[in-house]
Amino acid sequence: MKYCAIIVACSNQQNVWRKGAWVETPVLLNRELSVLKFNERVLAMVERPGTPLLERLRYLCIVSSNLDEFFEIRIASLKEQQRQSPDLTGADGLTPGEVFQRVQRAVHSLIDRQNRLLTAEVLPQLYEAGIGLLYASGWTDAQRKWAVETFREDVLPMLTPIGLDPAHPFPRVYNKSLNFIVALSGEDAFGREGQIAIVQAPRALPRMMRVPADIAGMPDGYMLLTSLISAFVGDLFPGMDMQGCHQWRVTRNSDLFVDEEEITNLRQALQGELSQRNFGASVRLEIAHAMPADQELFLQREFGLGADDTYRVNGPVNLARLMQMCNQVKRPDLEYPVYRPKVPPPFDGDLDRPADLFAAIAARDHLLHHPYQSFQPVLQFLTAAATDPKVMAIKQTIYRTGEDSALMGLLLSAAQAGKEVTVVVELMARFDEQTNINWAARLEEVGAHVSYGVVGHKTHAKMLLVLRREDGRIRRYGHLGTGNYHSRTARLYTDFGLLTANQAVCEDMDQVFSLLTGLGARRALKLLLQSPFTLHETIQALILGEAENARAGKRARIMAKMNSLLEPTTIKALYEASCAGVRIDLIVRGACALVPGVPNLSENIQVRSIIGRFLEHSRVFYFYQDGAELLYLSSADWMDRNFFRRVELGFPVLDKTLKRRVIDEAFTFALRDNRLAWRALPDGRYEMVRNRRAPMNLHQYLMTRLGG
């Protein structure tokens, strides 16, 4: 036991006897490579025979969108690390340069696989089903006529060609924008010799255009803007000979930097930074598969990128744009069957009066499991709070909520009705900054108290607190969740929510709100765990407590479900618990730095990842605790940022019936899954779980169990 603990504390490598030889296994796996492994598992949904055709396209688009963010944030960070600390070795034992090389190889392989699936399988099969992209090489006379008219009427007037010469330098290129490089020859009206021109596709133009069915020759035919511009770009250069036209786009560093020591107004500082986000340092170049080498080199020099940063694409350079087909085409036979989550009792009954709803919550706690159960009870709770004259105040945190949010509309209505509405809006929620700035402004306009939390600590906790006057006293009611207050993602992401009138829990929530909006010393909470204060230290203590129980010969068990597991000291504690004999089951959807199944280190740890119809998003932590069975739901993954640089909450499930539900729905059934589950291997690879048990699809099972 002691030897294991020393290795964990002092080494990045573990010697393991395998197949007759000692081999080195890293104690921590690389984050970036683990993220790419997750995207490989998502891409495997495209290859799965049972995945409906339009859903296969949707998964391709999801991977493309994930990779965009991966380059904008993770690759950008890697490049910065290479510049600033090229010799620094990370917890995975690799330098930034070594990580970058491995990541580039993995990304190129992933994108090649993605392009092959798109062009060789998904698009041809969609075409056979009457859903197709109409390329210029196959246009009929009617289609060409429609294309010409559409280009000249809707596209051509919007285009501004830029011929490159000393008077026309290379244009400023927007992040992920669609562009074309055009090779020209001949002499123009001013006697200038044609060489290279750049055409930028305006953001106002749709990237896909639906073709009338009688012209398309199929029910759902589309033309890409790329096809129209490539076919008729010569109209922009009359009298010149066009030698070729090829699409390309560049991806830029999109992480925001706000100097926390210098700013006086976070909203103003962020708005200034947002205007520059789309012109950050270049990190990736995507080009048409047929682009000549000299044009590729020209673009690489322009953006300071090399061959490893360049990706040839056989199809649209922004594959995620094809999501429009998934959303517009109405073909139930090519999609997952429609699932309409039920509103669970008592919220499906006669709770027309706000008093009845509050009485139902006062009577007992209520657990919601989205998307298997409807998000409607949360909206009912806030509606009752906004309309009930006995409600004095509403307090809520907002991380992501969407541009068109019924929930935010209810908060606006409550403030307009004269209630005390306090909203902690996280302005630094990545890629939702502008949406949240807009909501903050609207809330302030109607008299709500708007706070931006604590500078340097994103407010990621999900909580909604209602203060109601009953019999001359204030009674608190709360909602706590593992996911965002976002009606759309509540239909796609798996998350737990708890409606409660437990006064200890609700008083803790009030204390957290006071800390976020005001000033004061750290406050002791009765039941809630809070980052950056008690969540990490409590999780550590609970893990090591299970290890102590195992050493004492007692039963010990840990189960945890989350999106990412990366924080080193937590992983080391799990290794120590494994060495002590604790059985540990981890369900980690995405990045996982822990190495499972290594003798004398993690042989008692199993890591699973579940990828299916819904996005696994809930965070659940279970500790046997000598029979007490402590169970927490949380907004936090086990990552450095969640433990130390965010305001997060962990909240206990106290009701025995609800606790049993969470254990079953988060763990018992998930550990039986042999259709969506992947098992992590010690070398960082994953293999699908296949066994002789009866088929078990977790998502389908819970849809049937909770939705009927």
Residues taking part in catalysis: 460
Distance from chain centroid for Cα 430: 10
- Collect all residues with Cβ–Cβ distance below 8 Å to 162 and sequence separation of at least 6: 168, 171, 197, 198, 199, 200
Cβ atoms of residues 190 and 152 within 8 Å: no
**3 state SS of 571:** helix
Q: Cα separation of 125 and 135, whole Å?
A: 16
> 């709070």: which residue's tokens?
385
DSSP states along 340-364: -PBPPTTTTSS--SHHHHHHHHHHS
- Collect all residues with Cβ–Cβ distance below 8 Å to 161 and sequence separation of at least 6: 182, 197, 198, 199, 236, 237
- Measure Cα distances from 15 to 21, 23, 156, 269 in Å: 10, 6, 64, 50
Q: What pairs with residue 467 in β-bridges?
A: 393, 476
Output phi, psi for 195, to 5 deg: -135, -85
Tokens linked to 484: 């965002």
- Measure Cα distances from 84 to 87, 279, 304 in Å: 9, 21, 17
- Look at the chain and count its residues: 708
424-462 in b/e form (b: 16+ CB < 10 A) is bbbbbbeebbebbbebbebbeeeebebbbbeeebbbbbb
**3 state SS of 36:** helix
Q: Cα separation of 466 and 479, whole Å?
A: 9
Cβ atoms of residues 605 and 533 within 8 Å: no
Q: Which long-range contacts (CB under 8 A, 24 or more apart) does 507-513 make?
A: 507/476, 509/395, 509/463, 509/465, 509/476, 509/478, 509/480, 510/395, 510/465, 510/476, 512/461, 512/463, 512/647, 512/649, 513/395, 513/422, 513/424, 513/463, 513/465
Q: Cα separation of 188 and 571, whole Å?
A: 66
DSSP states along 483-534: S-S-TTGGGTEEEEEEEE--HHHHHHHHHHHHHHHS-------SS-EEETTT
